[in-house]
């Protein structure tokens, strides 16, 4: 098993259900940990064998920025399922951070971990 970390992926989407949030894009920071089966790339240095984290990021960006969400929980769940659809991925942890969601806090975040056995 190996792990890829995607740190502080900054996205903008409509998220929230309070009147002042509706119709406005807000920043979200995603931190993602992907546990997957390595395919010899650590030995043979072959990019074709590696898990393509750039492609994964593009898919996450497309998913999050082109939808509307009420809850951070839904964002995290959708991202987790998108990543778990990749055959080599065994487990994923997703943290969705919403900066300035509370007046006296830097941010609010929600985190979840899912694995293939739960699907």
CA distances from 84 to 28, 37, 107 (A): 21, 12, 27
Look at residue 102 and give its three-state secondary structure. coil
pTM: 0.92
Rounded to an integer, the average pLDDT of 68-87 is: 96
Rounded to an integer, the average pLDDT of 40-44 is: 91
What integer best gives the mean pLDDT of the chain? 93
pLDDT at position 28 over 80: yes
Candidates 48, 53, 62; CA nearest to 32 is 53
Rounded to an integer, the average pLDDT of 47-72 is: 95
């Amino acid at each position: 098993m190996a792990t890829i970390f995607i740190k502080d992926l900054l996205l903008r989407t409509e998220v929230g259900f309070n009147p002042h949030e509706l119709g406005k894009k807000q920043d979200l920071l995603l931190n993602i940990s992907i546990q997957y089966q390595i395919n010899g790339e650590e030995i043979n240095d072959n990019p074709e064998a590696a898990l393509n984290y750039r492609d994964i990021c593009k898919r996450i960006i497309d998913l999050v920025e082109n939808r509307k969400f009420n809850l951070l929980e839904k964002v995290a769940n959708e991202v987790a399922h998108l990543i778990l659809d990749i055959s080599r991925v065994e487990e994923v942890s997703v943290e969705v951070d919403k900066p300035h969601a509370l007046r006296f806090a830097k941010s609010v975040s929600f985190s979840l971990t899912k694995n293939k056995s739960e699907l």
